[in-house]
Amino acid sequence: MPAAGQTLRKIIAQSQKELLADWIQTQLGATTLRSDLMKESELRDQSREFLALLQAAVESGNTQTDGASWAPVRDFLARVSRSRAMQGFSPAETATFVLSIKQPLFARLRAEFGGDAQGLADEIWSTTDLLDKLGLLTVESFVKSREELIQRQQREMMELSTPVVQLWENILALPLIGTLDSERTQVVMESLLQKIVDTGASIAIIDITGVPTVDTLVAQHLLKTVAAARLMGADCIISGIRPQIAQTIVHLGVNLSDVTTKASLADAFSIALKRTQAKLPQQFGATT
Amino acid sequence: MEKIPILKMGRFLLVTIQVDMHDQLALQLQEDLTARIVAARARGVLIDISSLEVVDSFIGRMISNIAAMARVLDAETVVVGIQPAVAITLVELGLSLEGVRTALNVDRGMALLHERLADEQR
């Protein structure tokens, strides 16, 4: 009886062409085919390349897919999954690419072994094991590339969502949109403080109209930002507090009494103007 | 021995911290500054820390202490030139320098002190 993997090697070496044709046929007939996302020629190319790489890997005699001889196969599958993730395939559809080779392959194994049920079962088991590992690999790299995409978008959103705008001489506005977590607070704080240095602003209006919920943590983050701005010599006004949020803040026992708060950005702006203009003549008088 | 210079500008004293602070230096500064406030009858102290890139709780506490001492001697302390990174660090350390006035730069700090003096004389 041949050793496990021996017959697989033989089949792939001898009937690669037929196997490839059958496999592509299977893939083209499957319900998971996404002809809207991918051209048939691309599928053919990928199938051919995979089979060639698989043959090279199987030839090495190593059945451990994490071995060095399987590196080209792993790289290829990672590349395929990444491109499919970008094209909008689902994880199942991506994994089916590898798993669909089972059917034509097993049909050949059956023919090869004939009546030897014992040998057939052994060979099928080792082949299934191998292909399942490869299938899992595709899913894993699929998920990984999706995660990278999500992280990149998160980062971009973070940068986009913290604009610091100058409303007037010495007055900055910081319209916050979305949930405030500690990471975002850090970004907000940094960009606000940098802008204070750049513009020499003395008043910063933090508008929280776009912040959906305020809990103790968010309130603490806000107070931290206010404290940091104060250290840089800028006063903060918090505006855009909605009625529900005012209620929540009081119920939570958050103390905002040290900070000027206004219901709307317009109110905050008008008081900021009043404060800076009241100060300006004195300042000029003092420095000259 | 190294010393932090204290400059007199009218009724105000100007201190620029440009070297790494350590215990001995801080104690020396406290002693010198209180002596100068009394000798010069100073009404305000301006501490410029714009060249400090790193702060720790020790420096934070030292600044608070100096401000408290100056207040006892009827001089107001304004800390100016806090870098963004330093401000964030101080806040994260829980040292928001309560009771100390702050300003963006020496100009603004001076304006603040003058304003305070003018208010009092009115």
Where do the domains of chain A lie?
Answer: 6-155, 165-287
Does the pLDDT at position A64 exceed 90? Answer: no
Distance from CA of A228 to the nearest CA of B (A): 5
Q: What is the pLDDT of residue A3?
A: 54
- Chain A interface test: which of B47, B78, B82, B90 (most A C-beta within 10 Å): B82
Q: Regarding the domain delimited by A165-287, which CATH topology (the fold level of the hierarchy) does it fall under?
A: Transcription Regulator spoIIAA (3.30.750)
User: Among A227, A111, A97, A166, which residue's Cα sits nearest to residue B90?
Assistant: A227
The model carries a pTM of: 0.64
CB-based contact, A230 to chain B, within 8 Å? yes
Selecting from A200, A231, A283 the residue whose C-beta is nearest the C-beta of B82 gives A231
Please name the amino acid found at residue A59: E
Please name the amino acid found at residue A122: D
Q: How far is residue B30's CA from residue B107's CA, in Å, rounded to a whole number? A: 24
For A202, the closest chain B residue by CA position comes to B104
By the 10 Å C-beta count (0-12 exposed, 13-18 middle, 19+ buried), A86 is classed as exposed
Selecting from B86, B90, B104 the residue whose C-beta is nearest the C-beta of A196 gives B104
Decide if A201 contacts A171 (C-beta within 8 A). Answer: yes
CA B31 to chain centre: 14
Contact (CB<8Å) A196/B108: no
Taking contacts as CB-CB distances below 8 angstroms, the residues of chain A near B115 are 282-283, 286
Which ranges of chain B does DSSP label H, i.e. alpha helix?
23-40, 57-72, 84-92, 106-121
Q: Print the domain residue range for B26.
A: 6-121
Give the list of residues 6+ apart from residue A37 with CB closer than 8 angstroms, or none.
Answer: A87, A88, A89
Decide if B12 contacts B112 (C-beta within 8 A). Answer: no
Q: How far is residue B82's CA from residue A233's CA, in Å, rounded to a whole number? A: 9
Decide if A38 contacts A80 (C-beta within 8 A). Answer: no
Lowest mean pLDDT among A33-42, A148-157, A165-174, A217-226: A33-42
Does the pLDDT at position A25 exceed 90? Answer: no
Q: How far is residue A161's CA from residue A187's CA, in Å, rounded to a whole number? A: 10
Q: How far is residue A140's CA from residue A208's CA, in Å, rounded to a whole number? A: 39
The CA-based angle A105-A109-A115, given to 5 degrees, is: 155
ipTM score over 0.90, yes or no:
no
Lowest mean pLDDT among A6-10, A174-178, A208-212, B115-119: A6-10
The winner for highest mean pLDDT among A32-36, A156-160, B1-5, B68-72 is B68-72
Contact (CB<8Å) A224/B110: no
For A112-137, the pLDDT digits (tens) are 888 888 888 888 888 888 889 888 98
Class of CATH domain A6-155: mainly alpha
Q: What is the pLDDT of residue A237?
A: 94
pLDDT band per the 50, 70, 90 thresholds, residue A287: very low
Decide if B101 contacts B76 (C-beta within 8 A). Answer: yes
Residues listed for chain B: 122
Contact (CB<8Å) A233/B108: yes
For A196, the closest chain B residue by CA position comes to B104
User: Among B47, B32, B40, B28, which residue's Cα sits nearest to residue A231?
Assistant: B47
Residues above pLDDT 70, as percent of chain B: 99
Does the pLDDT at position A63 exceed 80? Answer: no
Distance from CA of B78 to the nearest CA of A (A): 10
Which tokens sit at B67?
């401000």
Contact (CB<8Å) A287/B111: yes
Does the pLDDT at position B6 exceed 60? Answer: yes
Contact (CB<8Å) A231/B90: yes
Does the pLDDT at position A4 exceed 70? Answer: no
More confident residue, A67 or B39: B39
Taking contacts as CB-CB distances below 8 angstroms, the residues of chain B near A229 are 87
Taking contacts as CB-CB distances below 8 angstroms, the residues of chain A near B114 are 286-287
Considering its fold, how many domains does chain B have in total? 1
Can you tell me whether residue A286 is helix, strand or coil? helix
**A57-67 burial code (b ≥16 CB/10 A, e <16):** bbeeeebebee
The pLDDT of A130-154, averaged and rounded, is: 89
Domains A6-155 and A165-287 share a fold: no
Residues above pLDDT 70, as percent of chain A: 94
Which tokens sit at B110?
């001076």
Q: How far is residue A66's CA from residue A62's CA, in Å, rounded to a whole number? A: 10
Decide if A57 contacts A70 (C-beta within 8 A). Answer: yes
Contact (CB<8Å) B84/A286: no
Does the pLDDT at position A85 exceed 60? Answer: yes
Residues above pLDDT 90, as percent of chain B: 39
Which tokens sit at A17?
């062409």
CATH number at B92 reads 3.30.750.24
Residues listed for chain A: 288
Q: How far is residue B52's CA from residue B84's CA, in Å, rounded to a whole number? A: 11
Per-chain mean pLDDT for chain A: 84
The number of C-alpha atoms within 13 Å of A200 and in the hemisphere containing its C-beta is 7
CB-based contact, A258 to chain B, within 8 Å? no
Q: How far is residue A112's CA from residue A175's CA, in Å, rounded to a whole number? A: 71
Contact (CB<8Å) A196/B84: yes
Q: How far is residue A16's CA from residue A52's CA, in Å, rounded to a whole number? A: 8
Give the list of residues 6+ apart from residue A84 with CB closer than 8 angstroms, or none.
Answer: A38, A93, A94, A97, A142
By the 10 Å C-beta count (0-12 exposed, 13-18 middle, 19+ buried), A220 is classed as middle
Decide if B46 contacts B83 (C-beta within 8 A). Answer: no
For B33-84, the pLDDT digits (tens) are 999 999 999 999 999 998 888 888 888 888 888 899 999 998 999 999 999 9
For A231-248, the pLDDT digits (tens) are 999 999 999 988 888 888
Does the pLDDT at position A286 exceed 50? Answer: no
Contact (CB<8Å) A232/B84: yes
pLDDT band per the 50, 70, 90 thresholds, residue A217: confident
